[in-house]
Amino acid sequence: MDPASGYVDAHSHIWTRSVDEYPLAEGQTVDDLQPPSFTAEELLETARPHGVTRVVLIQHKTYHGVDNSYITDTIAKYPGVFSGVACIEAEADHPDQEMSRLKKLGIRGFRIRPGEGGTDRWAESDGMNTMWAYAADTGLAICPLIDAEYIPQVSEMCEMYPETTVVVDHFARIGIDGEMREPDLKALAALASHENVHVKISAYYALGKKRPPYSDLIPMIRRMYDAYGAERLMWASDCPYQLTADNTYGDSVELVTERIDFLSAEETDWVMRKTADKVYFS
């Protein structure tokens, strides 16, 4: 089966117990891995029965730090199946050099968090400014993992670097405490004014009521759809964390493919495949 013909999961983590080959970050042991194993092969076994044929691998910084070799080796092992989002040291003297190296290995995005870059505000960090500028010049994505309170920092950087492709993870975690607050929704929707910002509609197990059928999340998805359109939204599972006693991979897929009634077939294809393909595989 041609990998390009199926859905794209725009966000999954993998790790391995082969710590001699892929050492864990300082302070981590194999006993800390939860679940104990979630390899690329285990991910594919989970995803393929649901029509997912490609996956964007997100570096798990807690477990593997900024050693991205497990995901880059996986990209090389399965040509056309995986793309990747790496974690690097934004406060390094020349983060663009590491971005260039990783791009050659199949990385197409770089995850950032609040406080990275050595300052409280990204705009004041030399390294973070370098990363955003280099991403704009080379077609790479900057992928903020943030809570809603940090949306203004994303907007500030977008004002400075309007050509940079940005992908906000997990609705900016709106609803993680069970509440989808209007000011937070308004702020995330307003980011759509920056034409290169995208949003992952993902991590359903962690938001709102945190259980299928996730009907409580549909109004938030509609809000983002009205702001961004289907061409700037991408579905993702956030595996293996989507796999719990109450949540399955299929539950996540089916929210978009079966339970949302405002997407046309073409728009569903954008959310489930084409947006992530454009950002991470093109």
Tell me the pLDDT tens digit for each residue of 213-270. 999 999 999 999 999 999 999 999 999 999 999 999 999 999 999 999 999 999 999 9
Look up the domain containing 199 and give its range. Answer: 3-88+171-281
H helix runs in 88-125, sequence order = 95-103
pLDDT band at 2 (very low <50, low <70, confident <90, very high): confident
Convert the pLDDT of each residue in 82-101 to its tens digit. 999 999 999 998 999 999 99
Count the neighbouring beta carbons within 10 Å of the beta carbon of residue 203: 22
Reading across the β-sheet that carries 107-112, which strands appear in turn? 7-12, 52-58, 82-86, 107-112, 141-144, 165-168, 197-202, 233-236
pLDDT score of 194? 98
Residue 169: phi, psi to the nearest 5?
Answer: -75, 140
pLDDT score of 274? 98
Angstrom CA distances, 170 to 20, 107, 146, 204, 205, stand at 32, 20, 9, 8, 11
Please check whether residue 137 lies inside any domain of the structure.
Answer: no
H helix runs in the chain, sequence order = 40-47, 61-64, 69-77, 95-103, 126-138, 151-160, 182-190, 218-228, 249-258, 265-269, 275-276
Please check whether residue 238 lies inside any domain of the structure.
Answer: yes
Please check whether residue 221 lies inside any domain of the structure.
Answer: yes
Structural domains counted in the chain:
1
Cα–Cα distance, 55 to 236 (Å, whole number): 9
pTM of the complete model: 0.97
Residue 25's CATH number:
3.20.20.140
Convert the pLDDT of each residue in 126-168 to its tens digit. 999 999 999 999 999 999 999 999 999 999 999 999 999 999 9
Please check whether residue 94 lies inside any domain of the structure.
Answer: no
Please check whether residue 186 lies inside any domain of the structure.
Answer: yes
Please check whether residue 33 lies inside any domain of the structure.
Answer: yes
pLDDT band at 3 (very low <50, low <70, confident <90, very high): confident
